[in-house]
Amino acid sequence: MNFFGYQEQARKNTAILIVLFVLSVILISMAVYFAMVLGILMGQMFVDQDTGFMGFSANQLWSWDVFYVSTGITLAVILGGSVYRIRALSEGGGAAVARMLGGTYLPSASRSPLDRRLLNVVEEMAIASGLPVPPVYLLEQQGINAFAAGFSPSDTVVGITRGALELLNRDQLQGVMAHEFSHILNGDSAMKMRMMGLLFGITLVSDAGIVLMTMKPTSRYSRERGTHPGLLVMGLLLFVVGTVGVVMADFIKRAVSRQREFLADASAVQFTRNPAGIADALKIIGGYKAGSKVSHVATGQVSHFFFGNALKSWYASDWWATHPPLEERIKRIEPRFEGKFEKVNYKTRSSANISHAAAELMVAPDDEVAVSYVSPDDIISRVGSPNIESVQEATLLMAKMPARIRDFAHDPYTARAAVYALLLNRDTQKKRVQLQVLEKTADPSVFRETLEIQMEVEGLASELRLPLAEMVLPALKEMSLPQYTIFKKSVGAVIKADHSVSLFEFVLYRMLIRRLDGEFTRSAPLPMKYYRMKTIFPHVVVVLALLARTGHGENAASVFTESMALLVDEEHLLPDKKNARFSHFDKALTELNMATPHLKESILKAAVHCVLCNGVISVKEGELLRAVADGLDCPMPLMVAG
């Protein structure tokens, strides 16, 4: 199964999640009804036996009036809680989960050897897979664990514990991060966010029971003291019934999450081509006293996000846990594993890790890795499934990046200057006009930094421009909303200053602003509304026409016709240039992003065929193809020109 198949499977898993949620609500509603009935009967023991409640008396077991009231209250609690939590998560994204666990943002400009090693690994993984570089959060926990959380790649964050940072070497960190990136690529992170919101509601019934048990008379003239016996019994029963919700929540987590962990392990091995990396990380967890435990009040709510079992309870190694047993996970990677874990000494291992991390920063990558693409199917197979060659190529590109530019990219202040410098035209006259506009719109200090770095960015190799744009994302997400407003306005002004928009300017603006808008505006995700190729055909024409014209000159018409033939049986001619504006292309990508995963696969395959038709991928074609893939939310691996 490829990336698009996993996306389709994630949709089906979400449907299964909703079905299980509905069944849980029905079960809890019935349990609450009988708890209320029993509470009413117990309450009548302390008052006049002939007095009924809502027409309910001790000689009957069913009352529609009581059922309507109990079910209404139950649905209000469950659905209200779920909607509230999903809304809160939507506004906060993956960062909301990290902060809920007490995580602190790890600055992109951190100079600590251990921090730098982790941030480099995350950058490599993101650039290799075509995902936005996610912000990293550090949890001050001694257990070895990590997680990825977010509704979409744009709002996804990666979290890691102090124990994992200090006890895992680079290969092991790479294995753990590959596991978490696999969750992002396979759609698991988004599904887990929805699951967290839904499950929050069904665990609120027990809280309602606690409220009833502790409720006091509201009137100061009342002679009663303490909770009414009926409310006390009803509250106690609701609290007990609420455990049904807790049990159902754990069951749903296990039903949906467990096999996804095996899949992410396998994907991580494929990603890094280093089974020992993730297997050794699991072995260290098994031999470490704290294991993968995360001691926090919110751990139970987010236990299904973690790399390892974050809970230590009576069922931690049981079939009921959200994660498979360590031994089983390791044996699937290393069949000869005998189940023995060596004890881990924290001080010894962490000290050695710090020394190794410092040494790694001084070592340059070995000779270049050739990445060849022989067919559209070959490229499509790598969408959402990056391999070790992609990681090595990303490492080499980062090593080629001048140190000063890397420093600019990692600082939230100077990252803006790096973006401005990327947009400056190499024509002296046009650049002068752009700088005049930028001086009026940008922050004065950032403008000065732009003047400082512009020449170095101008000398940057063409294939390093988009990787630099990827690298600046975490730093740019540290801006305040007013700073982002000025930044967005300045970027647009610089692009328009010379009264023309280049292909690179369009690609850079679309990728950056699309990803950053999700961070600062929290707009609702686009719905899925296209299920047939016929409904999106006009938008496909716009995209393929621009791709054909970008790199094929006089052959554009025949390339367009060949690419369209992959999607429809009829022959289609290349439309004239009046519909070839970037605004039309932008609108077309927005619409195509609302198609099903299988339709996106067909569209992207036709786009790749269009680019690769002459056997060569130019820098411009590679950049435009990355923009198409990004617009479809299909992470494209690095494209090599030539």
- Determine how many CB atoms are found less than 10 A away from the CB of residue 542: 21
Q: What would the two tokens of residue 591 be? A: 């619409």
DSSP state at residue 139? E
**Residue reference for tokens 């075509």:** 130
Question: Measured between alpha carbons, how far is 95 from 104 in angstroms, rounded to an integer?
Answer: 10
Residue 338 among the catalytic residues: no
> What is the rounded distance in angstroms from the CA atom of residue 390 to the CA atom of residue 382?
9
* Closest to 518 in 3D by CA, of 630, 364, 356: 630
**Rounded-to-integer distance, Cα 96 and Cα 373, Å:** 39
The 10 Å Cβ neighbour count of residue 430 is 15
Residue at token pair 């790399």: 307
Where is 500: in which H helix or E strand? none
Q: Supply angle C-alpha 313, 314, 318, rounded to 5.
A: 105
3-state secondary structure 544-613: HHHHHHHHHHHHHHHHHHHHHHCCCCCCCCCCCHHHCCHHHHHHHHHHHCCECHHHHHHHHHHHHHHHHC
Q: What is the dihedral of CA 429, 432, 433, 436, to 10 degrees?
A: -170
Distance between CA 635 and CA 358 in Å, rounded? 32
- Helix ranges (H only) for 401-502 are 403-410, 415-423, 428-441, 444-458, 465-471, 473-476, 481-496
Residue 444: partners with Cβ closer than 8 Å, 6 or more residues away:
none
Torsion of the alpha carbons at 500, 505, 510 and 511, rounded to the nearest 10: 180
The residue to which tokens 């031999």 are assigned: 287
Look at the alpha carbons of 277, 282, 286, 288 in this order and tell me if their dihedral is positive or negative.
positive
Catalytic residue among 123, 166, 180, 261: 180
User: What separation in angstroms does the CA of 442 have from each of 454, 475, 488, 496?
Assistant: 15, 17, 10, 14
CA distances from 566 to 247, 381, 589, 603, 617 (A): 50, 17, 19, 9, 20
The full length of the chain comes to 642
- Whole-number Å distance between alpha carbons of 42 and 230: 6
Distance (Å, whole) CA 403 – CA 119: 15
Please list, in sequence order, all residues whose beta carbon lies within 8 angstroms of the beta carbon of residue 615, skipping any fewer than 6 positions away: none
Those residues with Cβ within 8 angstroms of residue 482's Cβ, 6 or more apart along the chain or in another chain = none
The alpha carbon of residue 13 and the mean position of all alpha carbons in its chain are separated, in whole angstroms, by 17
Distance, in Å, from the CA atom of 449 to the CA atom of 413, rounded to the nearest integer, reads 9
Measured CA to CA in angstroms, residue 196 lies from 18, 19, 173, 362, 604 at distances of 12, 15, 26, 42, 32
The residue among 396, 460, 478, 473 whose CA lies nearest residue 422 is: 460
DSSP 8-class letter at 161: E
Active-site annotation, residues: 180
